[in-house]
Each structure stands twice: as structure tokens, then as C-alpha cells.
Amino acid sequence: MLSNKQIEEWIKSVIVKRFKQRAEGDYLGEYSVRHHPSIHIQQIFHQLYRPTSPIEIYSDKMPRYTPQPDDEDGLIPIDEVLGSYDSDKRMVVIYIKNVEKYAKNPFQTDADKLKYIVELHEYAHALVHLGVYNKEDEKLLRGYNPGHETDWEPYLSSRNSTNTTLDLSVHEFLAQLISWKILTEPELHHLQNLFLKLMKKQPKQYRMSKVILERVENDVDDKFRHILNWAQNHEDMSSIPTDVNQREAIESLLFNIIP
Ligand SMILES: [Zn+2]
């Protein structure tokens, strides 16, 4: 029979061992279970997916990319061959066979790591579509007629229409910005290189300049909230100039870069 003291010692030793395992190397297996990208995105941006998180499925399909006339050779567009976010079904799809294939060549990395970055990107699209700032969540839940219950239909129809009016370039820019912001978390620094390699294989609307990448590392939280609020609700439109490209306007607002 073990004494309480012995049990306490044993528990301590197990905990210490676990912490040591986590601290060593860039082991993603356990990390990805504790911090699925969708949870991480909600935590960092203080937002909730409403009314529910997207459904996520893995697919064995291996879609191929059909290059457009102006494209460079060898592009691997994230949303064409590695995954997708379907806003009608509110569904994230991961093309797991393609993720495994491209992880091997050209990226020479673990499929889990590439998958993490693809999931981040797709859940970032979902955040723009469905994210609600946690301080506004209560108001949304109570926004029904007295005597009734929360009706998500008006919310979803407003979000769907906002989502479709954003430029494609804004969608991709925001998804990449959100992903990069998550990868500035110290535990995920080891995925930054892979993100940058993947970014080089993207069409130009997915690419961010060095200046932007560096500035995301600094504190841009309040500005991020402002941009997300605009992208999600088109509120406060006055602050986004309409006579320039939406993406340029966002870049200049977030990073004080004059287009
Ligand atoms: Zn995308």
C-alpha cells in the first residue's frame, strides 16, 4: 500500500516528465492535439465560431491545379490542392493525400506540419466568415424577440452576404495574416519556415511582404480587431477607403504602409 506521500511523489515525477517531453524539440504530435488550429485561432483573436465551429473532413481526393496564363511554374495553391473552406456548408476539407505528397516533395517535411498550416489557413477563412468577438457574443445570443429563442438565421444571412462581397485578394490576405499571427506564438515558431516556403509557392494574392511579416510580430492586436470587425460586418466602412483596392486599404490601415 502506498502512502499519500509516495503517491504525491509519483504524481510529481509524472508531471515533470511530461513537461520535459514537451519542452524538448519541436514535437508536434502532442501539441496538435492540445492546440488544434481552430482552438488556437479562437484563443488568440478572442473570437468564437458561431453558431458552431466548421465541420472538418479529410478527403482522399487529389485535386490538381490548372495553371492560369500568368502563373509562374510549380505553384501549389493552398485552396486548390491542399484544402478548402466551403462557406455554404461551413466545412473545412483537408486533401490529406496531397498534403502527404507535397510534404515529401518539394517541402521535405512531416505531413503533420504541413497539415497544421493548411488547417490554419482554412480555419482563418472560417474566422472571417463566422467569427464573433467574445464580448459581443452575449448580445448575439440574446438578440431574439422576448419570449423566443436565439435565431441564427439573420446572423448567418448577414455573414454570408458580407463574406461574398469581400475581394478574393482580401480573403487570401486575411487568411494568411491570421495564420502568420498564430505562428508568431513562441511554441509555433518552428513552423514559420515551412509557412514561408509554402507562401513562395502561392499565387500573388497569398503573399505578404517582409515588412508586413515583421510588423505582424509586433503588437497589432487592436488594429487586427478593427480589420476583422470590418471584414466580418462591413461596419465602420468610412475608415476603409473605397476608391482603392480593398487589400491595399487594409495594408495601409494595419501597417501604416501608404499604397
Ligand atoms: Zn485561402
Choose the weakest-confidence range: 45-59, 95-109, 112-126, 214-228: 214-228
**pLDDT-derived band of residue 95, with 50, 70 and 90 as boundaries?**
very high
At 73, the pLDDT band (50, 70, 90 cuts) reads confident
pLDDT band (50, 70, 90) for residue 241: low
66 Cα–ligand 1 center, Å: 16
Residues of the chain by 3-state class (helix, strand, coil), percent to 5: 60, 10, 30
Would you tell me how many other CB atoms lie within 10 Å of the CB of residue 36? Answer: 17
Q: For all residues of the chain together, what is the average pLDDT? A: 86
Q: Are strands 55-59 and 91-95 parallel, antiparallel or unpaired?
A: parallel
CA of 108 to the centre of ligand 1 (A): 22
How far is the centre of ligand 1, averaged over its atoms, from the C-alpha of 26 (Å)? 26
Residue 3 Cα to ligand 1 middle (Å): 57
Mean predicted confidence (pLDDT) in 64-88: 90
The lowest-confidence range among 40-49, 64-73, 172-181 is 64-73
Q: Give distance in angstroms: CA of 27 to centre of ligand 1.
A: 26
Is the omega angle on the peptide bond into residue 77 within 30 degrees of 0, that is, cis?
no
Q: Ligand 1 centre and the CA of 121: distance in Å? A: 6
Distance 48 CA to ligand 1 centre (A): 20
Which positions ≥6 away from 216 have C-beta within 8 Å?
177, 180, 181, 184
Q: Assign 172 to helix, strand or coil.
A: helix
User: For residues 91 and 85, what is the distance between their CA atoms, to the nearest angstrom?
Assistant: 6
> How far apart are the CA of 124 and the centre of ligand 1, in A?
8
Structure confidence at residue 35 (pLDDT): 79
Distance 10 CA to ligand 1 centre (A): 47
* Ligand 1 center to 204 CA (angstroms): 12
Rounded to the nearest angstrom, the distance between the alpha carbon of 58 and the centre of ligand 1 is 17
24-44 pLDDT, tens per residue?
A: 444 454 444 457 999 999 999
pLDDT at 104 over 90: yes
DSSP string, 52-86: SPPEEEEE---------TTPPTT---IIIIIEEEE
